[in-house]
């Protein structure tokens, strides 16, 4: 359904004096909608966008309706169970990032990352550190000569935690999207679960089957006190597969080493599995069951949202994630051309 564009705020357009068209355009916009627009295009969900900007779902829906009228475009359209950006909305993403950064510089308090003595505390799993640290380090080096410092606290799959206390006691936490609700966050990278086996395991051919999951010993990353917190085990049991859990570890990095040289099988995030495959003698194979995706997000307490130093810190981490995606896209391009 076509949308009728919303008129400029204040009624009929006024002819600008002195030829200052840009100034008149800015006067006609409600820049308070920019954070909502950014959250909607990033999250592709009214509920999650509202959580990011601190608005209720009805208020966020009302803002989306106004933005649709303003741009004369749907912006978000439902495709199956998810929402996707319209082609026009996709063209807004990069422009919106530049506009947001400019407004942050204009209205934000001064923060000099090159001279600050502040140390940021980040809570993350060894998986998140392994896949993101290199690019985050590169951003730090590019933008501040390696300052300020970041203190990383290791979060294990076995940890039980109070998310509010965790966010109050640290600057940010990297956790999957489904783990946290009601706090501001920013998307980082998306991954998927794969299976790994020893490279000489002749019990498994070119693919893993549900029968392999039921018969081969399993290495898992979870606490025996809370096994259903571990997504692969929860889904296997939901499908009626009761695996033989032979080894339990409290992190992800050790999983390939516990598979190598054995008949064991394990689930691991694909980025981590492929990063370790040249080091550990394992094969990386598709999962035979649908485990959903692994969507990592950066979460923080809402009291830190407007802190200039924290805004800069979030920028560093999220830019690191974007560099990962750009690097992977550039590596995939020659492969596609060869195909």
Predicted confidence at residue 159, as pLDDT, reads 64
CATH number at residue 269: 3.40.190.10
- pLDDT computed for residue 215 by the predictor: 95
**Per-residue DSSP letter, 108:** S
Query: Which residues 6+ apart lie within 8 Å of 163 measured at CB?
Result: 173, 179, 180, 183, 299
Provide the pLDDT for residue 160.
59
Q: How do beta strands 172-176 and 120-124 pair?
A: parallel
Residue 321: inside a domain, yes or no?
A: no
Range of the domain at 75: 17-105
Which residues, in sequence order, are CB contacts of 25 under 8 Å at separation 6+?
Answer: none
Alpha-carbon gap, residue 253 to 122, rounded angstroms = 19
Q: Which of the listed residues 75, 105, 135 is the one where a domain comes to its end?
A: 105
| Cα–Cα distance measured from residue 309 to residue 84, given in angstroms and rounded to the nearest whole number | 32
Domain-located, residue 197: yes
Q: What is the pLDDT of residue 307?
A: 87
Which one of 48, 73, 105 terminates a domain? Answer: 105
How far is Cα 14 from Cα 8, in angstroms, rounded to an integer?
Answer: 10
pLDDT of residue 221: 86
Question: Tokens in use for 188?
Answer: 């980082």
CA distance 177 to 185: 9
Name the domain count of the chain.
2
DSSP secondary structure letters along 73-102: S--EEEETTEEEE-HHHHHHHHHHHHHHHH
In a domain, 273, yes or no: yes
Is residue 219 within 8 A of residue 210, CB to CB? The reply is no
pLDDT at site 14: 41
Instruction: Classify each residue of 121-149 as buried b or exposed e, where b means 16 or more C-beta atoms within 10 Å of its C-beta.
Output: ebbbbbbbbbbbeebbeebbeeebeebbe
Asked whether residue 97 is assigned to any structural domain, the reply reads yes
Query: What CATH number should be reported for the domain holding residue 22?
Result: 1.10.10.10
Per residue of the chain (339 residues), give pLDDT as tens.
455 555 444 344 444 444 454 444 445 566 778 888 988 988 888 888 888 787 888 999 999 999 999 889 999 998 887 888 999 998 888 788 777 767 766 665 567 787 777 889 999 999 999 999 999 999 988 888 767 788 898 887 656 567 888 898 899 999 998 888 889 999 999 999 999 999 999 999 999 999 999 999 999 987 565 655 788 988 999 999 999 999 999 889 999 999 999 999 999 999 999 999 999 999 999 999 999 899 999 999 988 988 888 999 999 999 999 999 988 888 876 655 555
Does residue 32 lie in a domain region? yes
Q: How far apart are CA 96 and CA 34, in angstroms?
A: 8
How deeply is 175 buried, as exposed, middle or buried, from its count of CB atoms within 10 A (0-12, 13-18, 19+)? buried
Has residue 166 been placed in a domain?
A: no
Last residue of a domain, one of 105, 135, 159: 105
pLDDT for position 115: 77
Parallel/antiparallel/unpaired status of strands 217-221 and 265-269: parallel
Taking every pair of Cα atoms in the chain, the longest distance, rounded to a whole number of angstroms, is 79
pLDDT of residue 146: 66
169 part of a folded domain: no
**CB burial string 223-260: b at 16+ within 10 A, e below:** beeeeebbbbbebbeeeebebeeebbbeebbebbebbb
Run of H or E including 284: strand 282-286
The DSSP bridge pattern shows strands 172-176 and 293-299 to be antiparallel
> CA 336 to CA 157: how far, in whole Å?
36
Residue 319 in any domain: the answer is: no
Stretch (H or E) spanning 314: helix 308-338
Q: Is 113 helix (H, G, I), strand (E, B) or coil?
A: coil
């Amino acid at each position: 359904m076509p949308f009728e564009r919303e008129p400029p705020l204040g009624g009929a357009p006024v002819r600008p004096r002195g030829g200052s068209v840009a100034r008149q355009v800015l006067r006609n916009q409600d820049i308070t909608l920019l954070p909502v627009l950014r959250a909607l295009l990033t999250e592709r969900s009214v509920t999650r966008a509202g959580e990011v900007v601190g608005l209720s779902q009805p208020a966020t829906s009302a803002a989306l309706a106004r933005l649709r009228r303003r741009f004369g475009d749907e912006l978000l359209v439902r495709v199956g169970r998810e929402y996707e950006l319209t082609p026009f909305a996709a063209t807004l993403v990069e422009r919106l990032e530049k506009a947001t950064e400019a407004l942050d510089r204009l209205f934000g308090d001064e923060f000099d990352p090159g001279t600050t003595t502040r140390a940021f505390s980040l809570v993350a799993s060894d998986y998140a550190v392994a896949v993101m640290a290199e690019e985050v380090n590169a951003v730090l080096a590019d933008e501040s000569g390696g300052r300020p410092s970041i203190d990383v606290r290791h979060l294990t799959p076995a940890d039980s935690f109070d998310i509010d206390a965790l966010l109050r006691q640290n600057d940010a936490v990297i956790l999957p999207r489904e783990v946290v609700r009601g706090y501001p966050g920013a998307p980082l990278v998306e991954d998927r679960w794969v299976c790994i086996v020893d490279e000489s395991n002749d019990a498994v051919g070119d693919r893993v089957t549900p029968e392999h999951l039921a018969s081969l010993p399993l290495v898992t990353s979870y606490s025996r006190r809370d096994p259903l917190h571990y997504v692969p085990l929860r889904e296997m049991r939901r499908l009626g597969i009761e695996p033989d859990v032979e080894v339990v570890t409290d992190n992800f990095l050790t999983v390939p080493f516990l598979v190598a040289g054995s008949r064991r099988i394990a689930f691991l995030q694909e980025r981590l599995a492929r990063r370790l495959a040249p080091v550990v003698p394992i094969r990386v194979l598709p999962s035979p069951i649908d485990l959903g995706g692994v969507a990592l997000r950066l979460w923080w307490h809402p009291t830190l949202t407007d802190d200039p130093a924290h805004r800069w810190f979030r920028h560093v981490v999220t830019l690191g994630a974007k560099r990962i995606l750009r690097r992977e896209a550039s590596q995939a391009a020659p492969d596609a051309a060869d195909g």
